[in-house]
A and B are shown apart, each in its own frame.
Chain A
Amino acid sequence: DIQMTQSPSSVSASVGDRVTITCRASQGISTWLAWYQQKPGKAPKLLIYAASTLQSGVPSRFSGSGSGTDFTLTISSLQPEDFATYYCQQANNFPYTFGQGTKLEIQ
């Protein structure tokens, strides 16, 4: 299985900050990477797919980049509703696997 490793595991930030979360794959996955946001007690929400394509309806302050093994999710200016846990997911090989999550907390 392809292992997905996110860093950091948690991060504290303030409203208006720029935040970057990293996801590293244990082998190359081209751009077959998605990012999800999950709030407590809720299902994950798709933010970005194919590494950099914004899902319909997702604010443009979210962006993704990368290819191969290294990927980033950037939130350009944090809003109060962005405090949540973020997961990356690879779809290069089955079984599709997720990162362990990055919890974004209010500083």
Chain B
Amino acid sequence: QLQLQESGPGLVKPSETLSLTCTVSGGGSISSRSYYWGWIRQPPGKGLEWIGSIYYSGSTYYNPSLKSRVTISVDMSKNQFSLKLNSVTAADTAVYYCARLEDTAMVRADYWGQGILVTVSS
């Protein structure tokens, strides 16, 4: 069974960089040509926001609202992909999910990590 697991600091100071890693296990290869890999976040008590996605080749798509601050990268040797969000503020406090994105018929997130709460506070 495919599993995704987010890891990283749960507390980040304002103006610093949020860095998270998603480890893919259970038989799924991040180098698969069939899938994209993405990050989605959810502020406490609020709805979902698509952050961006990456293909194994390294091509990326970022939400324009975050594009100037976001970098998503992939490490095929470790079967991981990562998120960096710089210059964070309290508005970036959220549960961050990594997900596998299936692209046949339409792009949708068919496997999700459990999520990691990142709080931005001094």
Contacts of A98 in B (CB 8 A): 47-50
* Cβ distance A16 to chain B, nearest Cβ, rounded Å: 29
With contacts A34-B108, A55-B110, A101-B47 known, is A95 near B97, CB below 8 A? no
What CA separation (Å) do A95 and B61 show in the bound complex?
8
Q: Give the residue name and chain of the B residue nearest to A30 (CB).
A: B106
Q: Give the residue name and chain of the B residue nearest to A94 (CB).
A: B61
Q: How many A-B Cβ pairs are below 8 Å?
A: 58
A91 near B48: Cβ-Cβ < 8 Å:
no
Query: Which residue of A44, A97, A99 has the most chain B CB atoms within 10 A of its CB atom?
Result: A44
Q: Give the residue name and chain of the A residue nearest to B48 (CB).
A: A98
Contacts of B113 in A (CB 8 A): 43
* Cβ distance B55 to chain A, nearest Cβ, rounded Å: 13
- Chain B stretch 90-122: residues in CB contact (< 8 A) with chain A: 97, 102, 105-110, 112-115
With contacts A87-B47, A98-B50, A100-B47 known, is A44 near B109, CB below 8 A? yes
